[in-house]
């Protein structure tokens, strides 16, 4: 949700922190701040984006080799200068940055006010730094111990870094349910919400576990202990990321780059897993749990947003191929119901970031009920990847644009590979059919490349509809989740109201919205319920809506009815979402840019939603 970066070493901290903030800005961008220690502990923060902070700092003296910085997505307290992080303690001897939510901050705040503490902001975070200072004074303990004691009193989620004016050679960090990674360089340390700002500096990283404290001291080795005071040995891992994956590579926006990366990202999802010649699929990460999946009474897929749409496609694929009943649940709903779950159920948690709080909570619930949990994540080493029994990474590479694009197609690819594995083991698919799907799947990256050629046509169509106030996306079968995803993409980056609906369901209500002003986007490819969708298109046309249709190449029947047709290559019905999604991603991208919207950082959104 928020982005954290901190540095302790021999180099000037300011440029490292500022660059780190830009890298992390996709996580939150309503305000930003920095604290640098050089005799004085200077905090500078402002509402707005990192560039505004940089502009604001311009010329101010920020020398020092130790500092912390933060880019925020507001939860408690509106986004303004005062609520931006870092927050000082009462004495201004300490400063903190925080990602997460302190759920019991109300009670703690009242007690602290009662004890004479004055609050400058409306944030939950300020409560924590006052609490730490209070414990330090009241109990006469070292700062590390005060942090540890305070964290035992806190309910909620946190990734924090604390800097102290009285100790220019130390940073203290801790995490629970919000990610934090320590980078270890030559005589220097970094702390960050994810590995992206560390890549230029080091490949050696330690992912902190829940309720762990990291004590970083100049000239000493990294020390880790739990908040229950148990010493831990840091597990240093080699980070596998390259710089080009984090840069725009000549594209105007990350989102466009990521849309155009899909031939490669889908291929990477299949690499080493799909072998058409041998007629095999091997998902190494779930080998030990294959039998669990084969014997599963039921599969429950939990996810949020775009990942939830991928799960819906997965439901169709699993039921078609592996003949296992599947339920798809919004993680946020699942966690607060009393779901009936038992040991024969397999829960598949899908998440690009691997940090989504609701999905994480759904996993915890499923674990309590004894279900097996499989993860499908993009971010390596993320919390969800670590919390599941087994799983498969999507290997789509870093997705920086807030609107999810390549992660969606990669998730569907993994779900396909998983369903094929189970179907083959269960004997619910013939050898011939299995081989046919494998062969077609291997062709998909090329067909995505082919599909991307519609970009100019889509741009032309976008220009005609960029001023629309509403849009309706309709599809059936495998194309229904595609319609949902198309609508989500449009609304989140262009702020045009859009709805996705099963095409036949339209006549039960949404048809009332249709008039000559309304663009209706049909996903009308040539398999499954194609004939039925033609009838739905007729119904819309009669009501004078403007029709944009995604069709299979050489289709003539939809062309007779639609105002615009966008062709995608012929493929298996279950693989259509991998192609049909592409023009919809491009359509929302072009409309949003034409409307002057910030497509990579849409308003009110953040890349990973680590709070409820
Ligand atoms: O990281 P996750 O896949 O768990 O994220 C889930 C949603 O927050 C995410 O898909 C969100 O809906 C995107 N903004 C969609 O583009």
Q: What does the DSSP 8-state code read for residue 209? A: P
Distance from residue 26's CA to the centre of ligand 1 (Å): 12
Ligand 1 pocket check: which of 304, 310, 359, 400 to mutate, most ligand atoms within 8 Å of Cβ? 304
| Contact status, residue 380 vs residue 393, Cβ threshold 8 Å | yes
Nearest CA to ligand 1 atom 4: 351
CA of 560 to the centre of ligand 1 (A): 37
How is residue 67 annotated by DSSP? E
Distance CA 353, CA 345 (A): 24
The Cα–Cα gap between 114 and 106 comes to 12
Where in the chain is CATH 3.60.20.10? 3-244
Confidence at residue 78, expressed as pLDDT on a 0 to 100 scale: 85
Ligand 1 touching residue 353 (CB < 6 A)? yes
Q: Name which CATH class applies to 248-429.
A: alpha beta
Res 391: pLDDT: 96
Supply the pLDDT for residue 338: 87
Does the CB atom of residue 331 touch ligand 1 within 6 A? no
DSSP string, 426-444: HT-S-HHHHHHHHHHHHHH
| CA nearest neighbour of 10 among 180, 165, 201, 237 | 201
404 lines ligand 1 (CB under 6 A): yes
Q: What is the pLDDT of residue 126?
A: 96
Please give the torsion angle defined by the CA atoms of residues 332, 334, 335 and 337, in that order, rounded to the nearest 10 degrees. 120
The residue ranges of the chain whose pLDDT is under 70 are none
Residues marked as catalytic: 2, 607
- Give the residue among 298, 354, 308 at the shortest CA–CA distance from 331: 308
The tens digit of pLDDT for each residue in 225-270 reads 999 999 999 999 998 777 777 888 889 999 999 999 999 999 999 9
How far, in Å, from the CA of 159 to the mean position of ligand 1?
A: 20
Tokens standing for 607?
């890349």
pLDDT at residue 275, as a whole number: 96
Pinpoint the residues of the chain covered by CATH 3.40.50.10490. Answer: 248-429, 452-599
| Residue 274 Cβ < 6 Å to ligand 1 | no
Whole-angstrom Cα Rg for the chain = 25
Name the CATH topology of 452-599.
Rossmann fold (3.40.50)
Architecture, CATH, for domain 3-244: 4-Layer Sandwich (3.60)
Contact 601 CB / ligand 1 (< 6 Å) = no
CB of residue 305 inside a 6 A radius of ligand 1: yes
Task: Return the sign of the alpha-carbon dihedral for residues 385, 387, 388, 390.
Answer: positive
- Alpha-carbon distance of 44 to 478, in angstroms, equals 51
pLDDT score recorded for residue 28: 85
Q: What is the model's pTM?
A: 0.87
- Say if ligand 1 is within 6 A of residue 352 CB: yes
As given in the structure block, the two tokens for residue 92 are 């201004």
Instruction: State whether the beta carbon of 151 lies less than 6 angstroms from ligand 1.
Output: no
Ligand 1 pocket: which of 404, 406, 589 to mutate (most atoms within 8 A of CB): 404
Pocket test for ligand 1, best of 305, 335, 495 (most atoms within 8 A of CB): 305
604: left (phi over 0), alpha (psi -120 to 50) or beta: left
From the alpha carbon of 379, which atom of ligand 1 is closest?
Answer: 1
């Amino acid at each position: 949700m928020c982005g954290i970066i901190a540095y302790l070493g021999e180099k000037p901290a300011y440029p490292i922190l500022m660059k780190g903030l830009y890298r992390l800005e996709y996580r939150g961008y309503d305000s930003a701040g920095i604290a640098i220690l050089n005799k004085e502990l200077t905090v500078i923060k402002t509402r707005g984006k990192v560039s505004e902070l940089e502009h604001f700092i311009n010329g101010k003296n920020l020398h020092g080799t130790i500092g912390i910085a933060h880019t925020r997505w507001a939860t408690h307290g509106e986004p303004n200068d005062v609520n931006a992080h870092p927050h000082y303690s009462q004495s201004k001897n300490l400063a903190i940055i925080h990602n997460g939510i302190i759920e019991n901050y109300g009670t703690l705040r009242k007690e602290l006010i009662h004890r004479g503490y004055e609050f400058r902001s409306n944030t939950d975070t300020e409560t924590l730094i006052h609490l730490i200072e209070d414990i330090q004074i009241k109990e006469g303990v070292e700062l590390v111990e005060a942090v540890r004691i305070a964290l035992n009193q806190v309910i909620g989620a946190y990734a924090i870094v604390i800097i102290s004016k009285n100790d220019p050679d130390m940073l203290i960090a801790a995490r629970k349910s919000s990610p934090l990674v320590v980078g270890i360089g030559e005589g220097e340390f970094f702390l960050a919400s994810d590995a992206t700002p560390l890549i230029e500096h080091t490949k050696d990283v330690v992912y902190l576990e829940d309720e762990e404290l990291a004590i970083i001291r100049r000239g000493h080795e990294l020390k880790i202990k739990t908040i229950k005071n148990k010493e831990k040995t840091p597990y240093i891992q080699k980070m596998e990321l390259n710089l080009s994956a984090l840069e725009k590579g000549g594209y105007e926006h990350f989102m466009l780059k990521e849309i155009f990366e899909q031939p490669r990202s889908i291929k990477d999802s299949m690499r080493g897993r799909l072998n058409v010649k041998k007629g095999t699929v091997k998902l190494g990460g779930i080998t030990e749990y294959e039998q669990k999946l084969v014997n599963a009474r039921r599969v429950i897929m939990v996810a949020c947003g775009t990942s939830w749409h991928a799960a819906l496609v997965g439901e169709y694929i699993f039921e078609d191929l592996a003949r296992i009943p599947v339920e798809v649940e919004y993680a946020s709903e699942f966690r607060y119901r009393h779901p009936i779950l038992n040991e024969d159920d397999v829960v598949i948690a899908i998440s690009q970031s691997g940090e989504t709080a609701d999905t994480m909570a759904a996993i915890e619930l499923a674990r309590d009920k004894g279900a097996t949990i499989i993860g499908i994540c993009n971010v390596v080493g993320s919390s969800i990847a670590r919390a599941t029994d087994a799983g498969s990474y999507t290997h789509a590479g870093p997705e920086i644009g807030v609107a999810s694009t390549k992660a969606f197609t990669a998730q569907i690819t993994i779900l396909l590979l998983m369903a094929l594995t189970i179907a083959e083991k269960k004997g619910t698919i013939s050898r011939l059919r299995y081989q046919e799907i494998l062969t077609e799947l291997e062709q998909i990256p090329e067909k995505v490349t082919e599909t991307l050629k519609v970009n100019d046509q889509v741009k032309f169509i976008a220009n005609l509809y960029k001023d629309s106030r509403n849009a309706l996306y309709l599809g059936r079968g495998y194309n229904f989740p595609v319609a949902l995803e198309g609508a989500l993409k449009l609304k989140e980056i262009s702020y045009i109201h859009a709805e996705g609906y099963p095409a036949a369901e339209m006549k039960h209500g949404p048809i009332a919205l249709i008039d000559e002003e309304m663009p209706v986007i049909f996903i009308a490819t040539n398999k499954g319920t194609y004939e039925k969708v033609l009838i739905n298109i007729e119904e819309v046309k009669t009501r004078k809506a403007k029709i944009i249709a995604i069709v299979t190449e050489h289709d003539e029947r939809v062309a007779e009815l639609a105002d615009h047709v966008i062709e995608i290559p012929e493929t298996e019905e279950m693989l259509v979402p991998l192609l049909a999604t592409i023009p919809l991603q491009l359509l929302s991208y072009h409309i949003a840019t034409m409307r002057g919207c910030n497509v990579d950082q849409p308003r009110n959104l953040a890349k990973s939603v680590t709070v409820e």
